[in-house]
Amino acid sequence: MTRNIAEQTATRWVDENAADLSKWTSEIWHKGETAWREYESAAWYVERLRAEGFTVEEGSAGMPTAFAASWTNGEGGPVIASYAEYDAVPGNCQAASTVKEPRAGLNEHAGGHTDPHSALGMSAFGGLLATKAAMQAHNIPGTLKFFGEPAEKVRGSKPIHAAKGYYDGLDAMISFHPCYMLPLCNTVNWDTHCGAAFAMVYRFVCDEPESWLKRADGLPIPQAHSAVRAPGANDALFYMYNASKALRDSMLPHMGGWSISEAILTAGQATADNLPARLAEIQYIIRVPTVEMAEQATLILDRNAEAAAKLAHCRVEKIWVSKSRPGLANHVMAELVYGKLASVGAPKWSDRAKEIAREIQANVGLEPMAEPFLPDCEKLIAPQEAERILRQDLPPSQINYTSDDYTDMCWHAPTARLYIARPMLTGPAGFAYPDWVMNALGGIPETIDPMVTCASKTIAHSMLELMQNAELRSAARKEFEERTGGGVGGTNWIPPLADYEAPIGLRWPEYVTTVRGREWWIPSAGY
C-alpha cells in the first residue's frame, strides 16, 4: 500500500462529506461567540469528536471552553496533532449577506468572525476526520490529537495548554490559518513566523473614597453630597490610557511592525450621582517580535498603572491574559506541507461564488468585475518566495513578525504553519472594501467552502505522510533539536511563560439570556 492510496481515501472522504463540512462551518460561524465565552462552539466540537470515537477532555487546563481530544488506531505509531479555534470578535456582527447587516436578532456590536476562525477550525477538523478515515481503511497505526483553543484573539489558550503539558509527547503539529495578509496566501511559513504577544488587564479599584481628603465637618455623610470626592476608578483608567498613549514611542523601537492595543472591559459602577466609580478595567495586548520587547513594554505599562492608581486614589491589580512565545521555523515540516498543498492545488471559486462577489461589488458602489476575486486566491506561492517578499520591509535582525499564539506549539513539536486563501475581492487602485465585506464572505458557503475543502485535504495528506514516513519525522525532529539546542529543555529552548490561570472570570463581552431572549450584552436598539 502506497502513501498515495491513503491520501486518495482522505480526498474522497473530504469530497463525500463536503456538504457536512459546509453546514458545520456555517453553524460555528453563526454562533459568533467571543473570547472565553465560546460555550456552544466548544460543545459542538466535543459532541462531534465523541461521536467519531475520540476521547475528549472538556475544560482542559482549567479553561471551560477548551478541550483536548485523542484517538488511537492500532498499537504504536506517531502522535500527530492539529487544533480548532472558534472565537469571534466583538463589534463585527455581520450576516451571511451581500449587504451590510447584522445577523438576525442581533446588533452590530455582537460577535462576528473576521478571520474567520469558524472556517479555520472546520478546515482542521475536516483534515482530522479525513486522516482518521484513511488510517482506519488502510490499518495505519498512530494517534491523532485535536485541541480546542479558545480566545485566540487575546492569545488566550495555547500558552496555558503548553505550560500544563498538553503539547508534550507530540511528533508533529499542523497549524492552519486563513490568509490574512499577502504574500502569505496558499503557502507555508518558511523562516519568519509570528512573534511574541503579552496581554494583561489592569483593574483599578477605589476601595476607600471616603479617605481621599479629611472632611472638615466630621460628619459621616458630606452635606448634600457637595464635598470634594475621590477621583475614582474611571479617572485612574483615563490616566492610564492617556499616559500609555503618550509614552508609546518610548516603549519600543520605531521598526518591526510592533503594536500595543487597548480595550476597556469594565468601567463605571456609578450612577449620575457624584459618587466616584469603584471599579474600572483596561486590557492591553502587546504584539512584538521578541519576549524581551514584550517585557520592556510591560514594565512601562506597570509603572503607568501604579502612577494612575495613586493619582486617582485607587489600588491596581494586574491580571495576565497571555504570555505567548515567538514562533520557531521548521523547514522539513514546511516543505512537507507545501508539497501536499501543491498536489491538492489552490482553491477555486465557482461561477455562483463569483456572482455573489459581484453583488457585493455593486452594493459597495463598484462596477462588477468579470473576475471579482484577487488573482492571488487561486495561485500558489512557494514558501521561499513568500519569505523573500515578506522580508523586503523588515530589518535583517528581526526574526519574527505579526502575532498568533500557535507559536507556543512550535517549542514542543516540529510545527508547520499553513495559509490557504480565504475569499478576497479585487478592486480599483486605491479602493478599500469596508470590513463587513470580508466578514460576510467568510460566512457565505459558496465563498468560504473552497478554502475549507482545500485546507482539509492538505492537512489530511500532511498528517498521513507524517504517520507513515519515519524518515521524514526523524528529519523534522533533528531540525527541531538543532534549533532549540537539544529539543525541549535545550540551550536555545524557550520554556512556557504562562505562570497564571486562565482569566475566565473577567467581564469579557458575551451573549446573555434575559426576559427578551438571547441577545448580546449590549442590548439591541429600542431597549
State the average pLDDT for the chain: 94
Tell whether the model's pLDDT for residue 526 goes beyond 70: no
Sequence length of the chain is: 527
Q: Where does a domain end: 325, 359, 383?
A: 325
Of the ranges 31-45, 86-100, 199-213, 357-371, which one carries the lowest mean pLDDT score?
A: 199-213
Looking at residues 424-437, what average pLDDT do you find? 95
Give this prediction's pTM.
0.95
The predicted pLDDT at position 218 comes to: 58
- pLDDT, tens only, 317-328: 999 999 999 999
Co-location of 466 and 348 in the same domain: yes
Looking at residues 364-393, what average pLDDT do you find? 97
Say how many C-beta atoms besides its own lie within 10 A of residue 300's C-beta: 17
To 5 degrees, how large is the angle CA 91–CA 242–CA 283?
A: 45
- pLDDT, tens only, 473-508: 999 999 999 999 999 999 999 999 999 999 999 999
Co-location of 363 and 433 in the same domain: yes
To 5 degrees, how large is the angle CA 496–CA 497–CA 498?
A: 100
Co-location of 13 and 145 in the same domain: yes
Domain that holds residue 284: 197-325
The predicted pLDDT at position 525 comes to: 60
Pairing mode, strands 415-420 and 172-178: parallel
Tell whether the model's pLDDT for residue 225 goes beyond 70: no
How confident is residue 275, by pLDDT bands cut at 50, 70 and 90? Answer: confident
Chain position carrying cell 536555545 = 492
Work out how many domains the chain is built from and give that number: 2
Tell whether the model's pLDDT for residue 411 goes beyond 90: yes
Tell whether the model's pLDDT for residue 224 goes beyond 60: no
What CATH code is carried by the domain that includes residue 437? 3.40.630.10
Co-location of 259 and 371 in the same domain: no
Cα 233 vs. chain centroid, distance in angstroms?
31
Say how many C-beta atoms besides its own lie within 10 A of residue 384's C-beta: 14
Q: Where does a domain end: 451, 470, 489?
A: 470
What CATH code is carried by the domain that includes residue 308? 3.30.70.360
> Per the domain annotation, does 224 fall within a domain?
yes
- Smallest Cα–Cα separation from 86: which of 442, 409, 347? 442
Co-location of 287 and 387 in the same domain: no
- pLDDT, tens only, 56-114: 999 999 999 999 999 999 999 999 999 999 999 999 999 999 999 999 989 999 999 99
Helix axes of 117-137 and 445-468: crossing angle, nearest 10 degrees:
40
Co-location of 152 and 243 in the same domain: no
Co-location of 37 and 180 in the same domain: yes
Q: Is the dihedral of CA 431, 433, 438, 443 positive or negative?
A: negative
Q: What percent of the chain has pLDDT over 70?
A: 94
Q: Where does a domain end: 470, 498, 518?
A: 470
Co-location of 185 and 202 in the same domain: no
Distances (CA, A) of 488 to 167, 279, 323, 326, 329: 11, 42, 18, 15, 15
Paired strand residues for 518: 513
Co-location of 371 and 223 in the same domain: no
